[in-house]
Structure 1
């Protein structure tokens, strides 16, 4: 299935409804996973240590920056409550209207977010607004519209990006790409994905139980190490990339 064409833009209200329908029940029944358990931690730990003012956007219960000393914002009330209960500073909000002043942060992290919003230009403009000149900005996006599958629909994606498209979008909003890492994965079996979609549609509570207690722990166990590479690098066959950018001053 191809990415949505420009003549048929994503409907913002429908995207919010779809994402809330998927993630609110997911986080309501999930445990918070510490940032140190993810394969992003070796890459982000030093960056976080060097940045006294940090923001992570829409982490759910899978934050990648340290809980202490980081500001979190999420659309999910369940996620915000759980983050607060774990000692984090968390507020309810959306990437398109961040409740902070200009140039408030030295490190901004927004993983797996841009593909979920109708106005990705507006989202990047907000990230640029709250990032101080010279701040590091971490993003991740899925690549290649021709690689669209039912998984993208299932998790509430609006688009996949062509490599040249995401580079142009970053430059337009004042982000200089420094490094990237091959990142993320999605189910490769159409039958397994179809089964998962059926359970999500017909037995959502049971599906969320299996995800949180079986598939998520297995995914953490089998994570592969991540490595930075200069620029965007070769993207042939790459499903998703983690991008390390600097906010131009």
Structure 2
């Protein structure tokens, strides 16, 4: 963004795409984009006209398009909401030209990032890492297929694509208890080979895959190696 223009909020507000106005701009996390090519979305009277001429970062996530919601305060958003914001940022970077920064919450008068922006970026990084962890966990313990009928109650079963995770093993259903989660959920567990995360102090394993993982519990009345419970 070197050498790009700095806007005061007042200057940015004059870029709402109305008659005689110099352009159609919006800001996201303090970065100003020229959205003239998407005029039908943002011009006066269009569905997203509230975003024009200001930084309404918060509303991209909350969907609150009232005056009170069209603001740039994102300090209380969750990690997954921050990732939604990051997706929007990628969208604007790809589809529109960044023409400057707006002085305020995210950039100072010198055009340098403020601590508020640094905080948002740290949360986005943390969210991306949490996503990666979740994906790793899902590959290790893919969710079961489940079905419920009034006649038979619940049925859980594993296949090589259950939980949307393609793999070369099927696994058996187990209850996985996650720290902080109220209820366990059904996952498919590998039954052969070394555990996914072997104990460093115990190099020997019993070729039982992840069956001995401490957070797992068998389903009552279901044979330990049945693929359907």
Q: TM-score range by the shorter chain?
A: under 0.3
Q: Which has the higher helix share?
A: 1
Structure 1 length normalisation: TM-score? 0.22
Structure with larger Rg: 2
Structure 2 length normalisation: TM-score? 0.23
Task: Flag the structure with more relative contact order, 1 or 2, with Cα contacts below 8 A and sequence separation at least 6.
Answer: 1
